[in-house]
Amino acid sequence: MKPASSLQKRLGLGLTLGMTLLWLGATVGAWVVVQHELNEVFDSALEETAQRILPLAVLEIGNRDEPRQARHIAPLKVRKEYLTYLVRGAKGEILMQSHDADPSIFNPLPVEGFTTTSRYRLYGASALREGVFIEMAEPLAHRREAAQEALFALLLPILALIPISLLGTWLFVHVSLRSVRAYRRAIETRGVGDLSPIKVDRLPAEIDPLAEAVNHLMERLRKALEAERSFTANSAHELRTPLAATLAHIQRLRREAPEGPLQVRAAKIETSLQALTRLSEKLMQLAKAEGGGLLSEAPQDLVPVLAHVVDECNHAAGQRVHVVLPAARSVLSAIDPDAFAILVRNLIENAMKHGAPDRPIEVSLSSQALLRVVNAGPVVPEPILRRLTERFVRGESGAQGSGLGLAIALTIAQGVNATIALVSPATGKQDGFEVIVQFVLGR
Ligand SMILES: Nc1ncnc2c1ncn2[C@@H]1O[C@H](COP(=O)(O)OP(=O)(O)OP(=O)(O)O)[C@@H](O)[C@H]1O
Ligand SMILES: [Mg+2]
């Protein structure tokens, strides 16, 4: 799957690129107009100058002793001329020329009006019934330089505009998407079992219906899960009393029955009923594990709960469970004490049931809220180990069970953001089985 691209990045780049292109288009348009106008102004200056100089030149030539003698007009200050001119007779003989004028750049014979050569713009005008001509020349490079400067002046702001636009769009989109980010955080930070509606103020109109739809979906999911859970819990609960009553009847029947096949059959029924009672008990535990309320509002001390469960188990199974509690004497975590007790009880019960019967069980809780339950016994192969936390999946153990204990432990761990790991052989040993649960330390 392609990684999702950032809306902020796309808007920032897209808007900046679009704006730059528009600006460039506008610049080219403006430049064409400016160039046209510049040409008009330069042409009119050329024409005006020629019209001014011509009468003076005619007067000057008329006053000469030798009228047909060419003369250079010295400038007031010696500098390079932008405009140069020639005053010629009808046959092309030069009568007067400006200081920098180069006759080779002019037409061979005088021409009236505007003409353009490869390097110059020329203008010609005549006087004395086309007896005297003046021609002005202006280098085209001069005009090009003016046009280029105009172009630079138009282009220069773009350089500053690109980073400003990128930054501006980025900031604007960043601020506009604040509520969307808050929505994302609200989804990310919620626990696995939390299906309550997500409320975020002032979502954009495009996202708001999506958030509504997600809330509707979660509500329907929550109702469906709740119905399933309450059905499991209720049926397990409803089964409890009749099961206990039937078990009592069967036990009485067994005692009263004469030695023989009837007693054997009664014993079998008793065993099945006990398995059924355990199954309904496990189903109730699973329903609780899947329901909300696994997290406690205030952090709870896990040490006394663990000590109590271990005591209970030792009482029932002849002091096989050795417990190591942290020196700190108190380990706080935000887990419901009942849920913690169910988890620990399932793990210790497994160790007693499936582990080597004559070996001790080691239970420890570190000050970092790391719980370990270790027992001796044959190594469980990796492929089986991986599937043991699934519901109704059992290993190669000969002991009775429904295959729900580890699934209950995993569901509780996930509900309180704890991690659970099954290890076989146990850490630092050749055989055995170890369950490691890392709870989140509460502050
Ligand atoms: N401490 C352990 N040592 C060895 N094997 C274990 C241990 N804990 C679990 N197992 C294996 O994992 C399987 C699944 O355990 P789980 O607790 O889910 O079910 P169960 O104990 O068989 O039945 P239930 O707990 O529902 O009564 C067990 O059948 C057993 O093979
Ligand atoms: Mg079990």
- Give me the CATH number covering residue 383: 3.30.565.10
Residues 213, 304, single domain; the answer is no
Query: How many structural domains is the chain composed of?
Result: 3
User: What is the model's pLDDT at position 75?
Assistant: 59
Q: Which ligand is nearest to the CA of 397?
A: 1
Question: Residue ranges of the chain with pLDDT lower than 50?
Answer: none
Residues 309, 260, single domain; the answer is no
Residues 288, 298, single domain; the answer is no
Nearest CA to ligand 1 atom 25: 405
Collect all residues with Cβ–Cβ distance below 8 Å to 364 and sequence separation of at least 6: 323, 324, 325, 371, 372
CATH classification of the domain holding 46? 3.30.450
Q: Out of 257, 292, 327, pick the residue that ends a domain.
A: 292
Contacts of residues 275-281 at CB distance under 8 Å and 24 or more positions apart, as own/partner, are 275/400, 275/402, 276/239, 276/243, 277/240, 277/243, 277/244, 277/247, 278/400, 278/401, 278/402, 279/402, 279/404, 280/235, 280/236, 280/239, 280/240, 280/243, 281/236
Q: Out of 292, 323, 355, pick the residue that ends a domain.
A: 292
The whole-angstrom separation of Cα 326 and Cα 371 is: 11
109-128: per-residue pLDDT in tens? 888 899 998 899 999 998 87
User: What is the model's pLDDT at position 111?
Assistant: 85
In this structure, is residue 260 part of a structural domain? yes
Q: Which ligand is nearest to the CA of 393?
A: 1
**Ligand 1 pocket, mutate which of 321, 385, 394, 435 (most atoms under 8 A from CB):** 394
User: What is the model's pLDDT at position 235?
Assistant: 83
Q: Are 67 and 87 in contact (CB under 8 A)?
A: no
Q: Is 354 in the pocket of ligand 1 (CB under 6 A)?
A: yes
The whole-angstrom separation of Cα 148 and Cα 140 is: 12
Locate 328 and state its tokens: 């700190």
Nearest to 53 by CA among 137, 134, 112: 134
Residues 22, 147, single domain; the answer is yes
Burial of 34 by CB count in 10 Å (0-12 exposed, 13-18 middle, 19+ buried)?
A: middle
151-192: per-residue pLDDT in tens? 888 888 888 888 888 898 889 988 988 888 899 888 888 766
User: What is the model's pLDDT at position 109?
Assistant: 85
In which domain, by residue range, is 346 found? Answer: 294-438
Residues 258, 315, single domain; the answer is no
In this structure, is residue 164 part of a structural domain? no
Nearest to 302 by CA among 405, 432, 416, 434: 416
Strands 300-301 and 132-139: unpaired
Residues 263, 125, single domain; the answer is no
In this structure, is residue 408 part of a structural domain? yes
